[in-house]
């Protein structure tokens, strides 16, 4: 015969002493569970497992292994890469490492990136601009002359007429050169 023991019946028979013993038991059980959860000892945060922080090199290694699975090939001879955003900023890579896998339609560009404004790159980047960025270039061209004229144009009250005259000689430079020769 199979019998099942129910602890609630014992508490009913003996009165309140069972509830007191049960609460003490719960406190001990709770303290034991808390001690198991703590990793570093007393005074540290309670965590189930230790969190390992990744470094950038670990991410780079994982990326390189994923690229290796895609069978990417290095493309040599690329001196610079410019990625033009919609807001007019450019992500500029100088001498990047470019890898490509045409079968996977994947291109990887690695290297030091700089974020610049389109106006900083203007003379050399004109040949790289497409039809979609011509509208933003026109807006910049309209704003650029106004800014240059506003900042560089001298105002009428700043111009002194005395500044155009030749200054008076204060010292005699010939005497100083004769003294050096002697």
Looking at the chain, the whole-number percentage of residues with pLDDT higher than 90 is 22
Q: In the numeric block, which tokens belong to residue 129?
A: 């601009």
* Residue-averaged pLDDT of the chain: 74
15 pLDDT tier (thresholds 50, 70, 90): low
Neighbours of 148 (CB within 10 A): 10
Q: Which of 55-69, 98-112, 157-171 has the lowest mean pLDDT?
A: 157-171
What is the Cα–Cα distance from 164 to 154, expressed in whole angstroms?
Answer: 15
Residue 122 pLDDT > 90, yes or no? Answer: no
Crossing angle for the helix pair 7-14 and 17-37, to the nearest 10 degrees:
140
What is the Cα–Cα distance from 39 to 76, expressed in whole angstroms?
Answer: 50
Residue in this structure with the two tokens 């155009």, named with its chain if needed: 164
Q: Which of 90-99, 120-129, 160-169 has the lowest mean pLDDT?
A: 160-169
Q: In the numeric block, which tokens belong to residue 62?
A: 């994982």
What is the Cα–Cα distance from 117 to 138, expressed in whole angstroms?
Answer: 15
Domains of the chain: 12-48 (no CATH), 72-152 (2.20.70.30)
Stretch 82-97: mean pLDDT: 87
Residue 1 pLDDT > 50, yes or no? Answer: no
- Check residue 74 and give its pLDDT: 93
């Amino acid at each position: 015969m199979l019998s099942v023991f129910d602890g609630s019946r014992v508490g009913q028979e003996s009165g309140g002493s069972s509830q007191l013993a049960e609460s003490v038991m719960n406190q001990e059980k709770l303290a034991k569970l808390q001690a198991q959860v703590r990793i570093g000892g007393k005074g540290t945060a309670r965590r189930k497992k230790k969190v390992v922080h990744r470094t950038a090199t670990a991410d780079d290694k994982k990326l390189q292994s994923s690229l290796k699975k895609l069978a990417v090939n290095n493309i040599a001879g690329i001196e610079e890469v410019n990625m033009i955003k919609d807001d007019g900023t450019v992500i500029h890579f100088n001498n990047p490492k470019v890898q490509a896998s045409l079968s996977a339609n994947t291109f990887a560009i690695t290297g030091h990136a700089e974020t610049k404004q389109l106006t900083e790159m203007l003379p050399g980047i004109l040949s790289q601009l497409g039809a979609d960025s011509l509208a933003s270039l026109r807006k910049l061209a309209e704003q650029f002359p106004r800014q240059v004229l506003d900042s560089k144009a001298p105002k009428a009250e700043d111009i002194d007429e005395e500044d155009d005259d030749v200054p008076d000689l204060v010292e005699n430079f010939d005497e100083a050169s004769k003294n050096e020769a002697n």
